[in-house]
Structure 1
Amino acid sequence: MKKFLFVFISLLSISAFAQKATIIGTVLDKDMNNEPMAFADVTIQGTTIGSSTDIDGHYTLQVDPGTYTVVFSFMGYETIKESVSISAGETKRIDKTMASSEGITLTEIEIQGTRKKETEQALLNAQKESVTIVQAIGSQELSRKAVSDASGAVAKVTGISKQEGSGNIFVRGLGDRYNVTTLNGLPLPSNNPSRKNIDLNLFSTDVIQYIGISKIFNPKNYGDFGGADINIQSKIHSGKPSFEVGITSRANSNALSQDNFYLQDGPNYSGFYTNDYPSDPLNGYNFDTKLNRVSKGFPVGFGLALNGGRSFEVGEDGKLNLFATGSFDNGFKYREGVTRGAVTKQSVAKRDLTNESYKYTTNATLMANLEYRINNQNNIAFNTLYINSTEQKLDEYEGVINIYDNAPKGGGYISRESFERTQIFVNQLLGEHKLTDRLTVNWGGGFNNVNNTLPDRRQNMLVPIRNNDLTKLTFSDISPSDNNRFYQTLKEDEFAANISADYKFGKGEGEDEDTYRFKFSAGYSGRFKKVNFEVTQFNFKINEYLEVDKHNLDAYFTQENFDKGYFDIKTFRGGATNANALKPQTYDGDQIINAGFASLEAKLTSKLTAMVGARFEQVTQEINWNTQIQPAGGNSKFDKTEILPSLSAKYAISEKQNLKFGASKTYTLPQFKERAPFLFEEIGQSSIGNPYLYPSSNYNVDLKWEFFPASSEVLAVTAFGKLIQDPINQVTVASATNDLSYFNTGDEANVYGIELEFRKKLFKSSEDAEFNSDLTFGLNVSYLNSNQEFDKEKIQEENNNKSVNFTNNDGQLTGASDLLGNVDLSYFKEFSENKNIQLTVVGAYFSDRVYAIGTNGVGNAVDKSFVTLDFVAKSKLSEKLSIGLSVKNILNPTIERVQETQNVVLQSYKKGVNSSISLKYQF
């Protein structure tokens, strides 16, 4: 009976399969010179049957015999419907060429408006058609180069580099303060009081459709940038239902070489950890975490990612697209090297230490996107994103802490144990409405929340009891903060709103009689930010100098020893007898930006299109503080009104060549941390804000020639220049402690350079080949020259007689490399419809760049050049299963920072080789 049922069911299945019919075809993009159109939706009206076109514009639908309406759609394009009757076992071909809605041919293509064109070919086409100068890197290229986060992604773009050991991005030599980061066109908050922008390391490529980089100003952009507007476009689902599971294992060669991997006590494996100081921290030793380091076992990282999406038909014309992703990954890193500082003119490093650094990181991400296409004229989308990111570090230093007073002959020991957690919550609602053939309205609103905490950072400093015996150690007492526990919170809330309208007018003539020659755009942008920063630090005043073991500090810090009076616990305001002792150091900031903008885009001739516009911004920034520097408190406020003109033009030399020009004015705001007189203490170096700091102005010009010889190929050269008035820099103040602070250091700085972008298919299989193979080469190079003047008299006049003694009268911009380069070579081979392999080698180089400006006769601190080399292999093993392997930093170069003139190595270490293997399964 069972065999009979099995045979019967099998026959039914075979019969059902045999009765199926097939619809196939290719979709082309008329606006992109009939290039294949990737990710267009092809659906059967009134059913759940549907698909998306692949990179070559192909699609396949399996249907039952019958009569259907096939619907071809893509956001911003005319929807096409075609009836078809098909018989059992029949295959019918329907090819379509799609064009923009209502035949509009104005050539400005906003990167934000092409969300689903994330392939290299599609993004290159968007770059070609845009009036403004834009670049983008999409999820296809990110996968090919095994880029894991947004920070690594933008560093692959021409003229952009990443500061080693941080998420700080430099665009044409301009660092964090000159850039702006957005998600779907709406601003993102900062997760760090020292930074204007969010750390791009936090954004895994699981949530990224593509990243658009605008290096020139458009009136729709925010005016507070001089380097680039970096816009992350979040993934949105299209096509057939999907669900994917991915697992990854990763390791660092340095970490694997350690017999034990050490971290601090307290934080858990997941990163969802928080801690606060005890309820009565001054009258007893009540801290519940230990100071002794603990072993964390085998240092191999793990990652898990789930993502999926589905589309639902709503009514006759509506569609609901849902995409969701969740991921968790962690990683271990270790490095050892030297750390030196406080170098004198005589080339003596007052601080001379060796160091070991253990680091464990986690990143948990949840994102959901809901897009409702009401019809071809109306679209609404809701995006929500949550990120929980942590960094757990144990840093140990040994040697000379200070040649004059602290372990002058060596033997000193410093440990700093820190756990930093960042929680980001982003919510956005976006809409696009085509009210008439001529009038389109776009709007968006977003609310962001950031909670960044450093709960219970611990620092201890030991020195030899006697300088002639470096083996016996006790606690240092040079400063009350030598031994401390530190609790910090940064909370930032921001609401942002954009609304704009585009109106087309001026009918063409002859062949262009159905198109419009002009587009007028106008709109409003608003940003309303509130920042709250709090710090409480408990300093341990040592009264009894016992010999201590550097790896058993818990033997000294006990309730029993506290009762004996061996140490006291105080804040900067005092001990338990001070009623305000637990009142934290704070600064609170409010920033309000209201902006209006307008632009006119005109097709002046068949080859020349221009856009002229202006943005009006009114900025208010106010900060209030109560800190150790000014315990009585204080405040500072400025109001600024800016009118920011811009001009963009594109001349189509031929069908494959463009000449583009851009000129604009922008500005740069100081950050709250830079204006608050709060003392940020790091190992051997402190920084303090300056309330006299004020915005700078930027004047920008670009000229670009681009040539597109074939699909997915480009050769482009860009010349650019910038003039920055009243540039802001971090420099050393002439004081007893040589603190760093922030100043408008001179009247102007200038930057000019040239960029080269080249992408070429060196080999491609013939059109009649059964399976594809190709070899692709990519190169981008930028040369940069920067110079800024230093004016110590200006600083004294504008900053209440504070003194900065620059070593030189002028110099390069900090973070600016003369030469940057990225190169990649990628080979793709297809063995069957569901089996292929892709091998990619990626290299990068940056030349020497200034880290800090030299003062008091000491040369600049300079990060030395190095080369990185990565290898990536990806293979599709079947229709559903794929595997990936990456080996990064293969050359493992020495990372080095030197003090010029004195020729002293300030920092030196190797990062180790990072390897990972991943599996993905699609259901």
Structure 2
Amino acid sequence: MKKNLTLLFALATTGLFAQSNIEIKGKLYNQLTNTVLADTKFKIEDLGLEAKTNSEGNYTIEISEDAYEVELSVEGFEKVKQLLGEQTTLNIYLKPEEIKSEDIDLSTATITVQRNKAAEANLLNMQKKSTQIVENIGQVEMDRKGISDAAGAVAKMSGVTKQEGTGNVFVRGLGDRYNSTSLNGLPIPSENPGNKNIKLDLFSTDIIEYISMYKTYSSQINADFGGANVDITSKRYDGKGFFQVGLGTSINSNALDNKAYKLQEGPNYFGFKTTKIPTNVLGGYNFENSLNPVGRPSVGGSFNLKGGKSYRFNNGSKFGFFASAAFDSNGERLQDGVARTVDAHGNGVKDFHTFTSNKYNTNTTGLINLFYDINPDHKLRANSILINNSSQSLNEYNGYVRDINENENGLVRRGTYERNTLLINQLLGEHKFSERSDFNWGISYNTIKNEMPDRIQNTLRYAENDEQYYLANQDASLSHRYFQELKEDEMAANLAYSLKLGVDGYAYKAKLTVGYQGRYKERNLEANQFNLKVNKGDLAVDPNNLDGFFNQANYGSHFLISTFDSYNGSYRPQEYSGEQTINAGFAELEYHFSDRFMAIVGLRGEHINQLVDWRTALSQGKNEFDQFEILPSLAMRYKVNDKNNLRFAASKTYTLPQFKERAMFVYEDVTEIERGNPMLYASTNYNADLKLEWFPKQGEILSVAAFGKYIVDPINKVTIASSANDQSYANTGDWGYAIGVEVEARKAIIDNKGLNPEQVTIGLNAAYMQTKQELNDDKVFKETYFNGGRINTNFTFNEDSFTGASDLVLNADISYSKKWEKGGSILATVAYNYFSDRLYSLGTETRGNQVDKGFGTLDFILRTKLDKNIGINLAAKNLLNPVIRRVQDNLNGAVDILSYKRGMNFSLGLNYQF
């Protein structure tokens, strides 16, 4: 009877230029009889190659040098898997199972080739061969380090830190406004009205194949770029059918006490519920949700389903699909907290001596990926991704309340529920017309909806004489309910045509690429704050039963409801809308001066139009800017030898202000209030990088890079010099710069190959950087005139660092892995992350800077497979549980203005693959 011989080579992508091949030769053996498998024909279907063992069992094949692993299986024999490493001779021994070897017909054996881009060795090969300076992290490495989302993955790359409590990242000291995010090369919108980029923690690893970070600019990347472009590649499955189901649970050590773990009433466990504004909201108290905190289980849960399959047809075409659905939730409590402010003389104010925060987050994701290869030269791919994310928090601040100037035991409670729903739809195509020319394209339509339904805040004063709480009534907004909704639609298109010149087999002398990129987005934000104006402030209340005061029976006599713009029982919301259109044409010339030295020269012309229209409590107005940018770029690579690369890159880019930053829209938090500046304008960035890479062996790297950035007219968040100390945005100086050095090392210190491979690997990356920028009060005053007013600032220093920039960022890990013949495996990783002090906000009015103090985190991850079907995963994170501190640095000493502990997080998961 006929059986198949399957040889699986996991290959990397071809990179951005020609890919070379290597020759692999050896023998096939029957391990039991120690005899060769002679005269066995086979073909490598995906590469269009045929081969045959000779009478002595010898074979010779030519494959891509990116191949890193070979797996050979024959029905009746046990599987053999072996890493290729540096060797080009591979003798493969097959051990028979129950079936006798003579029952197996090897005359028509088949070798199939599949690609596994997510493997660490493959991604390093991509990095090695790429023309651009790029870093990659794939599914294999993310699993090894226990990473659950894209934010955690990016934070493991050199020079990157994650902002505490958010999914935002800083790259080389540059924050949200200087970075960009894309999915499969196409842009994706932000869920937050104040951010340019979407929170990366919305993307769970269930839908990610690998992530690429481009720290240098090329003309095929959106030019709103300063720190890095993060490109997420969604999963694509090509292979035999599979189906996997997983379950898990998690707990935060601070949230073990359920009596202290309380949340706002209203949102449900899965994070899909949305509360609407009541009808006739100004005519009575008709809100749906209670103001009383409710106890909730703090244990998180998760489940996931995923599966896929591909089909090969007789005409040579191929179709495949991959689908996944996942839900994850987790509870967290911040405790041992302090929150306070510092006055203009740098003295500590008796503010909130106790701060606690209970949090509950959910993330639901669904992905459908379809691919259809008409033939090897024409390929189509479609992606649809749905993400529903919710975050719920109940924050309590106990102590001195500035707004009511009361004693030590005042209370401010804020309950916030935020829901984001993102739908991404993409269609992509790859077309190879000849050995010289190809055409790639992609289009996308994305929608996102951000809702903050029924945020609640209550402020209470405490009377020591009768030991009772009373609702503060100095201002109508001290108790309020707030509703916000943002909707954004975005369409994008990428087109690129490439023509190779001087083609000689796999190599070519030059390649010219021309293309177009377009992006149009429209955003609408609407916000309503309903102030609960207390007119019976002499009645004692129970903080945990505020429904006893705020109810329909007391409406009118005890309190009233007001908003910023109401008349005869109706109201108008605060709102702004924005439109942004970007049209860009680009051209790149890649030229190989020799087999060692090549360069890419790029030029991009980009037209940007941004329009913002608002009507808020501050004003009503419209503002537009329109500009055209010419943006050159250069990337060079010198191949010192087969294991070393020397790279250089330089470019000019820009940084746009965001819609919210240019609209006169007011957002109030417990400790700060911010508004926009319509006169804000774009910064210009000049970037340069020099990098040396060494790849000692397959899967290993040692690299060092130096970088520099010079920014003209940098944008910063500033404190306005006024009695209210509100915050806004401004081009705060004429110049700013960032310089630094990055190192990366990855090494296998134990690497035992064979039937039961065993490996110990260590990884380290670190970045040291310095940033500085000019702070100019006169520049801000002169450039911010609008509607008869200006922004006044009084910076404490004339020069300072960029906000979010740490001098030192460090990531280190050590992993142990072992695999057994029957499919069992174990993988254990210890990972450490550290960042030094970083600037949170600039000092004003003689006050010092606010600084987030550096700290380190330690995680332990254990992943096991009992056999080929059952897997058990365990993770213990934040084991050091450091105190997270924000201080204000003053001449007479630093003052803690915020501190807390997050607690340790433990999770356990079980999965089964059918």
Work out whether the TM-score is over 0.5.
Answer: yes
1:160-203, Cα deviation, whole Å (9 max, x unpaired)? 11010111110000000000000000001100011100001110
The aligned counterpart of 2:375 is 375
Q: Does 1:918 align with 2:901?
A: no
Letter of the 2:370 counterpart: L
Structure 1 residues 61 and 55 mapped into 2: Cα distance closer, same or farther (>3 Å)? farther
Of 668, 675, 678, the match for 1:681: 668
> What one-letter code is carried by the residue in structure 1 that aligns with 2:906?
S
- Is the contact between residue 5 and residue 111 of structure 2 (CA under 8 Å) also seen in structure 1? no
SS of the equivalent of 2:502 reads: strand
Distance 1:308 1:42 in 2: 24
Distance (Å, rounded) in 2 between the aligned partners of 1:376 and 1:595: 30
**Is the CA contact 2:340–2:348 (under 8 Å) kept in the aligned structure 1?**
no
Q: What's the CA shift for 1:470?
A: 7.4
**1:793 lines up with 2:778 in the alignment:** yes
Deviation of 1:57 after TM superposition, in Å, equals 2.7
Deviations 1:89-132 (A, max 9, x none): 2457979798xxxxxxxxxxxxxxx9841110000001001111
Equivalent in the alignment of 1:515: 507
- The whole-number CA distance in structure 2 between the counterparts of 1:59 and 1:595 is 48
Give the one of 7, 22, 34 matched to 1:25: 7
Measured in 2, the distance between the counterparts of 1:708 and 1:849 equals: 33
Deviations 1:790-847 (A, max 9, x none): 0110001001232100000001000000000000000112233311211110000000
Name the aligned partner's letter for residue 230 of structure 1.
Answer: V
Pairing 1:469-548 to 2, within 5 Å after superposition: 469=465, 471-507=467-503, 515-545=507-537, 546-548=539-541
Q: In the alignment, which residue of structure 1 is the partner of 2:561?
A: 569
DSSP 3-state at the match of 1:225: coil
CA–CA distance in 2 between the matches of 1:270 and 1:97?
A: 42
SS at match of 1:588: strand
Question: Closer, same or farther in 2 for the Cα pair 1:649/1:157, shift >3 Å?
Answer: same
**Residue 429 (structure 2) aligns with:** 431
Distance 2:23 2:779 in 1: 57
For residues 66-102 of structure 1, the C-alpha deviation after alignment (integer angstroms, 9 at most, x for no partner) is xxxxxxxxxxxxxxxxxxxx9842457979798xxxx
Q: Is the 8 A contact 2:212 2:230 kept in 1?
A: yes
Aligned equivalent of 2:900: 909
TM-score by length of 1: 0.89
Per-residue CA deviations over 1:349-393 (Å, capped at 9, x if unaligned) read: 263341111111111111100000010110011100001111111
Task: Letter of the 1:862 partner, please give it.
Answer: V
Give the structure 2 partner of residue 835 of structure 1: 824
Deviation, structure 1 residue 42: 6.3
CA RMSD of aligned residues (A): 2.3
Decide whether the 8 Å contact of 1:115 with 1:233 is kept in 2. Answer: no
Q: Following TM superposition, by how much is the alpha carbon of 1:343 offset from its aligned partner in structure 2, in angstroms? A: 3.3
Letter in structure 1 aligned against 2:545: N
> Which structure 2 residues correspond to residues 42-53 of structure 1 after superposition, within 5 A?
none
Report the CA distance shift for 1:185/1:749 in structure 2 as closer, same or farther (over 3 A): same
Q: For 2:140, what is the secondary structure of its paired residue? A: helix
Residues of 1 paired with 2:24 and 2:895: CA distance? 57
The change in CA–CA distance for 1:305 and 1:293 in structure 2 (over 3 A counts) is: same
- Paired with 2:109 and 2:344, the residues of 1 have a C-alpha distance of 77
Is 1:610 matched with 2:599? yes
| Structure 2 counterparts to residues 249-264 of structure 1, below 5 A | 249-264=249-264
1:318 matched to 2:314: no
Q: Determine the structure 2 residue equivalent to 1:107.
A: none
**Structure 1 residue 231 displacement after superposition:** 0.4
In the alignment, what sits opposite 2:614?
A: 625
1:883 counterpart residue number: 872
Report the CA distance shift for 1:542/1:35 in structure 2 as closer, same or farther (over 3 A): farther
Name the SS of the counterpart of 1:516 in structure 2.
coil
Change (3 A) 1:566 1:124: same
Distance 2:20 2:895 in 1: 55
Aligned to 1:869, the other structure's residue is in SS state strand
Percentage identity across paired residues of the two chains: 44
2:645 to 645, 651, 658: 658
Show the counterpart of 2:70: 57
Matched, 1:555 2:515: no
2:735 is the counterpart of 1:720: no
- The AA in structure 2 aligned to 1:323 is F
In structure 1, the residue matched to 2:93 is none
What are the within-5 Å matches in structure 2 for residues 329-408 of structure 1?
A: 329-336=328-335, 337-349=337-349, 351-402=351-402, 406-408=404-406
Residues 1:350 and 1:855: Cα distance change in structure 2 (over 3 Å): farther
Quickly say closer, same or farther: Cα 1:445–1:490, change in 2 above 3 A: same
**Residue 123 of structure 1 aligns to a residue in which SS?**
helix
Shift of 1:33: 6.1
Partner of 1:289: 289
Work out whether residues 443 and 494 of structure 2, in 8 Å CA contact, stay in contact via their aligned partners in 1.
yes
Deviation at 1:348, TM superposition (A): 2.5
Amino acid at match of 2:897: L
Q: What's the offset of the Cα at 1:313?
A: 2.5
Alpha-carbon distance, 1:541 to partner: 1.0
Pick which of 221-230 and 338-347 moved more. Answer: 338-347
Task: Judge conservation of contact 2:339–2:353 (CA < 8 Å) in 1.
Answer: yes
Query: Does the aligned pair in 2 maintain the 1:399–1:411 contact within 8 Å?
Result: yes
How much does 1:516 deviate? 1.6
**Mapped partners of 2:480, 2:434: distance in 1:** 65
Name the residue aligned to 1:79.
none
Paired residue for 1:845, among 834, 846, 849?
834
Q: Amino acid of the residue matched to residue 23 of structure 1?
A: L
Partner SS for 2:540: coil
User: Equivalent residue of 1:481, what SS?
Assistant: helix
What secondary structure does 2:219 align onto? coil
Q: Is the 8 A contact 1:851 1:863 kept in 2?
A: yes
Q: Deviations over 1:481-524 (max 9, x none)?
A: 111010000000000001000100124xxxx5763210000000
Change (3 A) 1:92 1:893: farther
CA 830–97 in structure 1, closer or farther in 2 if over 3 Å, else same: closer
> 2-side partners of 1:562 and 1:624: how far apart?
36
Aligned to 2:404, the other structure's residue is in SS state: coil
Structure 1 pair 562–522 and aligned structure 2 pair: CA distance change class (3 A)? same
In 2, Cα distance between equivalents of 1:146 and 1:32: 34
**Residues 321 and 370, structure 2, Cα contact 8 Å, conserved in 1:** yes
Aligned with residue 742 of structure 1, among 691, 705, 729:
729
Residue-by-residue CA offset, 1:26-54 (whole Å, 9 max, x unaligned): 648694664999xx996899xxxxxxx99
Aligned match of 1:7:
none
Q: Do the aligned partners of residues 506 and 455 (structure 1) sit closer, same or farther apart at CA in structure 2, a change above 3 Å counting?
A: same
Cα distance in 2, alignment partners of residues 834 and 20 from structure 1: 25
SS at match of 2:641: coil
Cα distance in 2, alignment partners of residues 41 and 178 from structure 1: 45
- CA drift at 1:912: 0.5
TM-score normalized with structure 2 length: 0.89
Give the ranges of 4+ consecutive aligned residues of structure 1 lying more than 6 Å apart after TM superposition: 40-45, 92-98
Distance 1:461 1:406 in 2: 9
Give unpaired runs (5+ residues) of structure 2.
Answer: 26-42, 49-65, 78-100
- Paired with 2:547 and 2:596, the residues of 1 have a C-alpha distance of 76
Query: Which residue is 2:792 aligned to?
Result: 803
Are the counterparts in 1 of residues 9 and 68 from structure 2 also a CA contact under 8 Å? no
- SS state of the match for residue 804, structure 1? coil
1:351–1:684 CA contact under 8 A, matched in 2: no
Which sections of structure 1, spanning at least 5 residues, go unmatched? 1-18, 46-52, 65-85, 99-113
CA contact (8 A) 1:28 1:36 kept: no
- Partner SS for 2:124: helix
2: CA distance, partners of 1:270 / 1:584: 29
Structure 1 residue aligned with 2:53: none
Query: Structure 1 339/519 Cα, relative in aligned 2: closer, same or farther at 3 Å?
Result: same
